[in-house]
Amino acid sequence: MGSYVLNRVLHGVLLAFAVSVFTFALLELAPGTYFDELKANPNIDPETVALLKTRYGLDQSLPLRYKSWLKSACRGDFGISLAYNTPVAPLLLGRAKNTILLTGLATFVAWAVAIPLGIWSSAGRRSWRGHMVETATSSLLVIPEMILALACLWIAVHTHALPVGGMTAFLAVGC
């Protein structure tokens, strides 16, 4: 059991590393940077743009930038947001509360529907209800998530059953 858990943890770490390398390289291939907008502004000196690139380490090679980012990310330091000029970690933490709440509720609802439905379906395995549940779940599996999400949004907008305009802060008073 211990070797299985260790194996799964090792696979998870390697997968996270591979995804981070791939994402970092993919971002490098994207055309343009934040500083290209600054270069286009006639009120900003090219020296200022070069100084900012040096400050953020964008004048270094890709492997050096990745190594620096990985060290910082392992310490929980995700750098400074170019858009907000504040540390990224508090920005992520502020949004993580609602994300965790929504993910937890979605998981709970999925389990609350799936477990009783699975038990009900397996009790009548070769009956009409078993075939009905199997057909419904198979149909939902082949529909792309984006189409399903848009259909759910369309239904929510037209029935006014659920809010679709966003979420207020977690445990906000007066909402």
**pLDDT confidence tier of residue 30, bands split at 50, 70 and 90:** confident
Residue 35's nearest CA partner among 26, 21, 45, 25 is: 45
- With 70 as the cut, is the pLDDT of residue 174 above it? no
Please report the pLDDT score of residue 14 as a whole number: 96
Please report the pLDDT score of residue 120 as a whole number: 84
Please report the pLDDT score of residue 169 as a whole number: 62
Q: Where are the domains of the chain?
A: 2-90, 91-159
**pLDDT confidence tier of residue 108, bands split at 50, 70 and 90:** very high
**pLDDT confidence tier of residue 173, bands split at 50, 70 and 90:** low
Contact 84, 91 (CB under 8 A): yes
Using one digit for the tens of pLDDT, what is the confidence trace for 69-79?
899 989 988 88
How many angstroms separate the Cα of 92 from the Cα of each of 15, 70, 77?
A: 22, 17, 11
Query: How far apart (Å, rounded) are the C-alpha atoms in residues 62 and 12?
Result: 24
Q: Is the pTM of this model over 0.85?
A: no
CB 129: neighbour CB atoms within 10 A?
A: 15
Mean pLDDT of the 127-138 span:
83
- To the nearest whole percent, how much of the chain has pLDDT over 90? 22
- With 90 as the cut, is the pLDDT of residue 16 above it? yes
- With 80 as the cut, is the pLDDT of residue 2 above it? yes
Residue 87 bridge partners (DSSP): 80
- With 70 as the cut, is the pLDDT of residue 116 above it? yes
Q: Give one DSSP letter per residue of the chain, joined into a string.
A: -HHHHHHHHHHHHHHHHHHHHHHHHHHHHSS--HHHHHHH-TTS-HHHHHHHHHHTTTTS-HHHHHHHHHHHHHTT---B-TTTSSBHHHHHHHHHHHHHHHHHHHHHHHHHHHHHHHHHHHHTTTSHHHHHHHHHHHHHHHS-HHHHHHHHHHHHHHH--S--S----TT-TT-
Provide the mean pLDDT of the chain. Answer: 85
